[in-house]
Structure 1
Amino acid sequence: MSKNPYIGSSLDDLLEEEGTRAEIESIALKRALAWQIQQAMEEKKLTKTAMAKAMKTSRASLERLLDPDNSSVTLDTIERAGAAIGKRIRLELVDPTS
């Protein structure tokens, strides 16, 4: 079988070449996290006001956490959100080839 000449590099390779892979992955991670928290709030029927109170934070801080385009949230805020919805946060370092 011959290699298809129309298949190029992967998206990861392209983003790596452009130097934007880390930024794109960070945005995707924040969006996924915000979505998961929002879904858990809906399952537990938690309003934003009740969630902020359970987190011992302001509603504005919760809004920043739930904003998929705002990446300026601290690990402490994320951990408090997890605790408020009965979840635990797990972070890990992985090799770049994973």
Structure 2
Amino acid sequence: MHDWTLVALAVDWEKGVVTITLKNSRSEDVFIVADGLVSLIVPRREAWGGSVSVNAMEGPRLLTNGDYYLALEMQSGDRIELEARTITLPVSLSE
């Protein structure tokens, strides 16, 4: 997922669903979908400078409460974090 481009984050508040749209290394739209949203933290401080590219992904990791945690570290230094009941990743993360 390194160097993939973050395009958008959409929250359906009523349904508790977050959809993160990214462009993979072939410039194809791919999606991370989190259902049963509990928490979403989206800072945009850009401590390392402006960037729309992903540096690294942590998770999804099962938490002791049964939810899943996922973090996207952006090349700007920002860390987007979410907790949800389920998290679905793009089919191929190696692109």
Give TM-score scaled by structure 2 length: 0.22
Instruction: Considering fraction of residues, name the structure with more strand.
Output: 2
Give TM-score scaled by structure 1 length: 0.22
Instruction: Considering fraction of residues, name the structure with more helix.
Output: 1
RCO higher in structure (CA 8 A, sep ≥6): 2
